Amino acid sequence: MEQENQRPRLQKLFIKNFRAIGSQQVEIELDDIVVLVGPNNAGKSSILRAYEIVMSDGSKKCELTLDDFPHGKISPENLPEIILETVVYENLPAEKWIDKTTGENVVRERWKWDTVGKPKRSGWNVNEQNWDIQVPWGAANVANSRRPLPHKVDAFSDPEEQTVAITKLLTTIITNRVKSLTVNNGEEQAELTEFGKLMEQVKDIQNKIFDESKDEIEKAEDGISDIIKEIFPDYKIKFDVRPEDDLDKSINLFKAGSKLLMGPTTGYQSTIDRQGSGARRTLLWAALRYLSETASNNERPNVLLLDEPELCLHPNAVRESCRVLYELPLKSNWQVMVTTHSPAFVDISKDNTTIVRVERELSGQIKGTTLFRPERAKLDENDRKLLKLLNICDPYVAEFFFGGRSIIVEGDTEYTAFKYIIANYPEEFKDVHIIRARGKATIVSLVKILNHFGTSYSVLHDSDYPKLVSGNKNPAWTTNQKILDAVSEHVDPTKVRLIASLKNFEFAFLTNEVSSEKPYNALLEISENLELAIKVKSLLSALIDHTAPIPLGCLEWGNIEDLHSYYSELASPSSI
């Protein structure tokens, strides 16, 4: 891996026996953006909380209550356990903690609670290939400083807690920026900033104090060592002062109890906890947008843990907020993990995103499944371009990530017709997602994503004709083979049903094949013609149940010759 691509970050999170998460370990692969989707009460917020807990090691936040244990009981066979893998490049621990098999420096740590209160932290010893009672970096506060700094904003926390979270985010931004400006790079000669000068002064003062105190420090070391030797012969202590380490931590840029005020320019400005939910969320997004527009890779790694970012946002603000989140890691050492119920926060065109569906199994166990990683879905540049355009046209196209049975259709007419049937038969077609590709080529890109899930789905597309009226090759016909090739890439092609409307959906199922206002005309026809509605309903049923018969006017195919043998029987190319 090239050095310029290496950066400190979280890599994996493993959780079991914590809150709603049971003995079946949940594994979360971390990316620049991690989107946790799934139904309510499935454990998404518990995943965010798990990282915040281990990053609070040594504080009250890291102490569990009985409610954090499975079923509120302490069972020796089912103790809460959280494992974190972190990629680091600076302030490395001892060699025995560093796994270099991937070409990067991976440190693995585990927190385990055998009772309420504090956990036992251990490190993965690479040499011994086992957990060690010793730990990387030693003390909890030192280890915390070596990992990305978390910023957690809960969905329904009280105003004071939200205020603390937002204020911490803003002060971190400002502090990091100020402390990074130690030198003014002028055209003629570099000069220290006031903060840079202060750092130099603090260093000089600390070194002078150390020199003046050296005799007293040595006396204390010798005196305590003499006492220690009475029990442990040949032992001595050494006070490692390190006067120049982490100098910036010696300086606090803000007074204790500093407050963040908000209000009209000429009116009363109150603290954030006195603002409405919408104002607090808007301030959060303003801070994140500023951060995304001004961030640099020189800052300490940070992780934003955001619960349901769509809350309290105006519809127009949702897409802008999504853009801010996805841009944040591009220019800085930030990772983002969010829980959401809004498909608008899932951008399938991005190449830095992991989508994890968190759900309960019938047994009641919480399962975290990595649904989508761009590099594994094998999306090429054309796929990304098409998916980006589709995401702009339909911000809810990613709804299929949230579960249910998926059907890809080519255009608006089929989408409208099926939506009408679903609305009239809600119980029969519950949890059915109609994915509107808005074009034949985009079907291929969507198929690649669904293949990545390894689940069952169906595709309905127009067969079209091999040649145009002009006699030239029809590009739409060529795409048929591309769709078939993509479907064949599924780990189990028998889970996919590929159906073509012979010529097109309107020709095959409607009485009028019109060139404009197709969705409206389809809706009008189906709502007024019961026989036609039943035919469309049977097609939808066949797309859900792969054993159900398909109606006349369409063909289930698995070879391009299947289409060749049918298209000429329906109409001549001149009727296109």
Residue 508 belongs to domain with CATH number: 3.40.50
**String of DSSP letters for 492-537:** SGGGEEEEEESS-HHHHH-S---SSSHHHHHHHHHHH-HHHHHHHH
Distances from the Cα of 10 to the Cα of 84, 106, 107, 148, 300, angstroms: 8, 9, 10, 7, 13
Q: In the prediction, which pLDDT does 346 show?
A: 81
**Type of residue numbered 524:** L
**Percent of the chain topping pLDDT 90:** 23
Q: In the prediction, which pLDDT does 152 show?
A: 80
Which of 370, 393, 428 is a domain's end point? 370
Residue 63 covered by a domain: yes
User: Could you tell me the pLDDT band of residue 3, with boundaries at 50, 70 and 90?
Assistant: very low
Which of 370, 392, 420 is a domain's end point? 370
Per-residue pLDDT tens digits for 534-564? 999 999 999 999 999 999 989 999 888 888 8
**Type of residue numbered 448:** K
Residue 313 covered by a domain: yes
Residue 363 belongs to domain with CATH number: 3.40.50.300
pTM: 0.68
Question: Domain of 443?
Answer: 404-575
Per-residue pLDDT tens digits for 337-353? 888 888 878 877 777 77
Residue 218 covered by a domain: no
Enclosing H/E stretch for 433: strand 432-436
SS3 of 473, please?
strand
Cα–Cα distance for residue pair 237/70, rounded to 1 Å: 44
Over range 295-304, report the average pLDDT: 73
Per-residue pLDDT tens digits for 396-433? 677 777 777 899 999 889 999 999 999 999 888 988 98
Residue 570 predicted with pLDDT over 50 = no
SS3 of 150, please?
strand
Residue 246 covered by a domain: no
Residue 496 covered by a domain: yes
Per-residue pLDDT tens digits for 153-207? 776 666 667 667 777 777 766 666 665 555 555 545 556 666 566 667 667 776 7
111 and 52 both lie in a single domain = yes
User: Could you tell me the pLDDT band of residue 307, with boundaries at 50, 70 and 90?
Assistant: confident
Per-residue pLDDT tens digits for 87-121? 998 889 999 999 999 899 999 999 999 999 999 99
User: Could you tell me the pLDDT band of residue 17, with boundaries at 50, 70 and 90?
Assistant: very high
Q: In the prediction, which pLDDT does 548 show?
A: 94
The total domain count for the chain is: 2
Over range 34-50, report the average pLDDT: 83
Q: In the prediction, which pLDDT does 571 show?
A: 46
Per-residue pLDDT tens digits for 121-163? 999 999 999 999 999 998 888 888 888 888 887 766 666 676 6
Q: In the prediction, which pLDDT does 569 show?
A: 53
Lowest mean pLDDT among 4-13, 85-94, 321-330: 4-13
568 and 521 both lie in a single domain = yes
333 and 419 both lie in a single domain = no
Distances from the Cα of 469 to the Cα of 266, 331, 473, angstroms: 70, 51, 9
Q: In the prediction, which pLDDT does 575 show?
A: 40
Residue 259 covered by a domain: no
Q: Answer yes or no: are the C-beta atoms of 148 and 302 closer than 8 Å.
A: yes
